[in-house]
């Protein structure tokens, strides 16, 4: 799935998901959407944070590795192609949207 906003992760009526590292299959983040659909709770095993569901993400590309999908300027949500696993067992790779990819290219060209 291609994402631009935090809320883009919640598909098919699911209000929660786990993000898995594709290399080891371990859960690296647990996300849940509050009842209002306006706040995403992120449990990162050691830290927890609540962010607005409409938080725009950013893609930080790497040349020799998978890029990072970040939010709030420096907080890492996941790595490109990590896996979203939903309560019904379905999974999908997490990818930056075309818009985020274009923005990352512009940032690199500017040396940011």
Confidence at residue 55, expressed as pLDDT on a 0 to 100 scale = 97
pLDDT of residue 110: 84
The predicted-structure confidence for 2-19, as pLDDT tens digits, reads as follows: 999 999 999 999 999 999
Is residue 43 packed enough to be buried (19+ CB in 10 Å), middle (13-18) or exposed (0-12)? middle
Per-residue confidence band for 108, with pLDDT thresholds at 50, 70 and 90: confident
Domain layout of the chain by residue ranges? 2-109
Q: Which H helix or E strand runs over 107?
A: helix 98-109
Q: Which tokens in the block code for residue 51?
A: 């962010």
- Owner of token pair 């959407």: 33
Q: What is the pLDDT of residue 107?
A: 87
Per-residue pLDDT band for 33 (boundaries 50, 70, 90) equals very high
Calpha distance 21→39 (Å, rounded)? 24
With vertex at residue 82, the alpha carbon angle to CA 111 and CA 100, rounded to the nearest 5 degrees, is 35
pTM: 0.90
Higher pLDDT, 112 or 96: 96
3 state SS of 108: helix
Check the CA dihedral 79-29-8-72 and report its sign.
Answer: negative
∠ Cα 19 71 10 (to 5°): 45
pLDDT tens column, 37-81: 999 999 988 889 999 999 999 999 887 778 999 999 889 999 999
Among residues 49, 38, 60, which one has the least CA distance to residue 112?
A: 60
pLDDT band per the 50, 70, 90 thresholds, residue 98: very high
């Amino acid at each position: 799935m291609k994402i631009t906003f935090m809320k883009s992760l919640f598909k098919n009526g699911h209000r929660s998901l786990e993000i898995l590292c594709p290399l080891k299959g371990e859960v690296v983040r647990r996300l849940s959407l509050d009842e209002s659909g306006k706040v995403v709770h992120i449990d990162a095993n050691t830290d927890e944070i609540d962010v607005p569901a409409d938080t725009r993400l950013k893609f930080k590309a790497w040349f020799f590795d998978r890029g990072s999908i970040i939010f709030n300027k420096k907080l890492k949500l996941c790595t490109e192609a990590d896996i979203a696993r939903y309560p019904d067992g379905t999974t999908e790779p997490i990818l930056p949207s075309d818009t985020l990819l274009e923005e990352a290219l512009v940032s690199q060209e500017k040396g940011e």
